[in-house]
Amino acid sequence: MDRKDHRLDGRVAIVTGAAQGIGRAYALALAGAGARVCVSDVTEPTETLAQIRELHGEAIGVVANITDQPSLEAMVARTIHAFGRLDVLVNNAALFGSLRMRPFPEISNEEWDQVMTVNVRGTWQTIKAALPALRQAGGGSIVNISSATTFKGSPLLAHYVASKGAIVGLTRALARELGPDKIRINAIAPGLVMTANVQEHADWREAKGGIVATRALQRDSVPEDMTGVMLFLASDDSGFMTGQTIVVDGGVVMH
């Protein structure tokens, strides 16, 4: 790989939810900056792996469920077996693209619980599974994914907005606990990003124009818009930052 970015040379990263969309962009960016990457998802991340290898990057693919602790522990074990260490965890996996926009009284208890289980408990469980390896490496960086909807109070997705607000709180609480281990934990809060799933979703196709109109930078957001901030948080460039949430939404929320 002929690359100019060497800031993650020698580092090892796990990206959850990396079979497509923003997660794939994160995995490609990490590999492009020199990291060896475990690409994880609930389905085989075949295409993401192929793209990394086309660029002569090093990666393994692991099928894992972030709500299942043995599955997560196996993911971390496979990463250590392949690459010997773990330095970076990007908690990208979440429920979003399949959710329909509806008033909160119309959200079923079952759907509410599913969103909280995946988006909040899943992130927490993944951090728990990765913690021993991060400690063994002498520290590292965790990048959580929140959402700009948390700061806007966006309507019609109450369960999703609440789950991503919980990620901000979790990030702050764990920053206090993990600081002594030299493990930093920060979050990215994207606005609406036009992944393939989002483009195919009727609700978001209808809402997109109004969202773009509220941005200071009035254009669609694409997955690659998120990778610069992710690399900053994953690398030593942000070595004295922890507990922070950075909004990347084109200037809707000025946080």
Catalytic residues: 160
CA distance 243 to 136: 21
Strand order in the sheet with 88-91: 59-63, 36-41, 12-15, 88-91, 140-145, 183-190, 245-248
* Residues whose CB is less than 8 angstroms from the CB of residue 105 and which lie 6 or more positions away in sequence, other chains included: none
> Which secondary structure element, helix H or strand E, spans residue 88, and what is its range?
strand 88-91
Q: How does 14-26 read in b/e, with b if 16+ C-beta sit within 10 Å? A: bbbbbbbbbbbbb
Tokens 């991340």 locate to 45
Neighbours of 194 (CB within 10 A): 18
CA distance 23 to 162: 21
